[in-house]
Chains A and B, each alone.
Chain A
Amino acid sequence: MAFNVINKTIMKSLFSKPATAMYPVIKNEFYPNTRGSIEMAKIDDCSFCGICSRRCPATAIEVAKTDKKWEIDRTRCIVCNFCVQVCPKNCLNTQRSYTAPMRDKSSKLFTAYRPVVQEVTSGTEAQNNLTQVETVEEDA
């Protein structure tokens, strides 16, 4: 039977620095392996086979072969990493940072389009025919 056994821990924590960090002044550092959010790293290599879309347990990815569009709904994604691992061309990647909080669902989609490069015969035609890669960023 001992009294106040907790005193030893209390003394130690009185004279040491706090165990918590002053967030948001000091931000957390993530590890290389941290699964934060999924991004399409190399849209040029993507063959739009749709394996990632069929394998997703949360049905968060949408792939359109005709429009050459790859889209992920970040609010449905559970960051399980399965799409990254089954992609045959290794074009998906896991970022370390988490999806930022958003006020409404209007910016939940992250879309990537494949750039279309055609045979050009003149400079102006090249300007007209080149489709830019469009990405819709979330609101900060």
Chain B
Amino acid sequence: MGERTIIPFGPQHPVLPEPLHLDLIMEDEKVVGAVPSIGFVHRGLEKLVEKRDFNEMIYVIERICGICSFIHGQAYAQTLEGMMGVDIPPRAKYLRTIWAELSRVHSHLLWLGLMADGYGFESLFMHCWRIREKVLDIFEETTGGRVIFSVCKIGGVWKDIDNDTLNRIKRIIKDIGEEAKAVTDVFVRDYSVQKRTRGIGVLTYQEAIDLGAVGPTLRGSGVVEDMRTLGYAAYGDLNFEPIVEKDGDCYARTVVRVRELYQSLDLIRQCIEKIPDGEVDMKVKGNPNGEYIARLEQPRGQAFYYAKGNGTKYLDRFRVRTPTFANIPALLKILPGADLADVPVLALTIDPCISCTER
């Protein structure tokens, strides 16, 4: 029985995008236990529903997180539209799907870069983010902002994209797919990358289900669950299958995200070909009253939204349960047995987005 020491990991750490604290209980070089500690960016945003009316609240909800910002805004609009019984025009649904899938592309490219940085491969990190710049330019051209879009509203979207721009986006998507091929090949085929990811952090099928993991963390262990099959927004008309890998280690989760990247590029192409003409917003009258639950697929997994209205212009409650909150028990399960040098890779493999977790 070796001597036990406790090593604190975080909250400031070069590989972590956001502050997360783990107290690692170590025996020599192996981790035997971990205690998480979050709450460094808790801003209490959910309490602002009492002071901002339901039309302005969408701007607060978008700013919960910088990476997954659009889908939070879309989910807020979708939850309130469900509560008020409003069905938005089809063109607005397709536009929201295009922006949501572009969000997924940019989030996965960001994560691939951070993962490369996690095992020390900095030039690969820079190449991933160079490709991501093209996606951010599309966002700035169509919505006005690179990170926070402010384009969803209850009843549709504020801005339209005309057909010339859509055709140009189709060509840019094709270029991104070709450029990303050379870079994602390194994650999938390179020998030294596989040495750092194969067999590390194995999560079995039954453990992933019991611990409540969501998203690529769950799908990398062989469980088929993707919220987009519920058919919200325009996903009911599109053709896709959830992507699943069997092994459950870090390599499987990386491959799931790489394949989801290409699947999203294909979904955007399908949307642009099928988008109908028409208007993009509609007038919504009255105040929200009642309760509604919505579940959406963020790049990191399933996000759960619950809204309660009471007939005045202020909502009673808006609850956001983000995917990283559900993946933290899975992180605590895969840490024991790993080396200290593997801890950054394991912390990044669940794709932590801590500012979403503690709004």
Contact = CB atoms under 8 A, between A and B. Distances in A.
Query: Do A and B actually bind?
Result: yes
Contacts of A53: none
Interface in B109-161: 123-124, 127, 130, 133, 140-145, 150, 158-159
Interface string A18-42: 0100000000001101110000000
A57 B52 contact: yes
A12 B189 CA distance: 19
Residue among B56, B183, B189 with max Cβ neighbours from chain A (10 Å)? B56
Given A55-B56, A57-B56, A81-B158, A6 B191 contact: no
| Residue of A3, A5, A8, A35 most packed against chain B (CB within 10 A) | A5
B109 to A, nearest CB: 14
B120 to A, nearest CB: 13
B243 to A, nearest CB: 22
Contact of A57 (B59, B141, B158): B59
Contacts of A6: 123-124, 186, 190
Q: How large is the interface on B (under 10, 10 to 19, 20 to 34, 35 or more residues)?
A: 20 to 34
Contacts of B140: 30-31, 33-34
A4 B141 contact: no
A12 to B, nearest CB: 8
A113 B112 CA distance: 51
A65 B63 CA distance: 32
B18 to A, nearest CB: 20
Given A4-B190, A33-B142, A94-B144, A80 B150 contact: yes
A2 interface: yes
B59 A82 contact: yes
A5 B56 contact: no
A63 to B, nearest CB: 17
Contacts of B189: 1-2, 5
A63 B121 CA distance: 53
A3 B143 CA distance: 42
B55 interface: yes
A34 B124 CA distance: 30
A59 to B, nearest CB: 10
Contacts of A19: 130, 133
A43 interface: no
Interface in B181-198: 182-183, 185-186, 189-191, 194
B255 interface: no
A121 interface: no
Interface in A75-110: 78-82, 85, 94
B332 interface: no
Contacts of B52: 57
B59 A33 contact: no
Interface in B43-79: 52, 55-57, 59-60, 63
Nearest to B63: A78
Contact of A31 (B59, B141, B183, B186): B141
A113 to B, nearest CB: 27
Given A12-B182, A34-B140, A34-B144, 11 more contacts: A1-B194, A8-B182, A10-B123, A33-B140, A33-B144, A34-B145, A57-B52, A57-B59, A57-B60, A79-B145, A81-B144
14 contacts: A2-B190, A2-B191, A9-B127, A10-B123, A19-B130, A33-B142, A34-B145, A55-B56, A57-B57, A78-B63, A81-B150, A82-B59, A85-B158, A94-B144
- The 4 A-B residue pairs with the shortest CB-CB distance, nearest first, are A35-B144, A57-B56, A5-B190, A33-B144
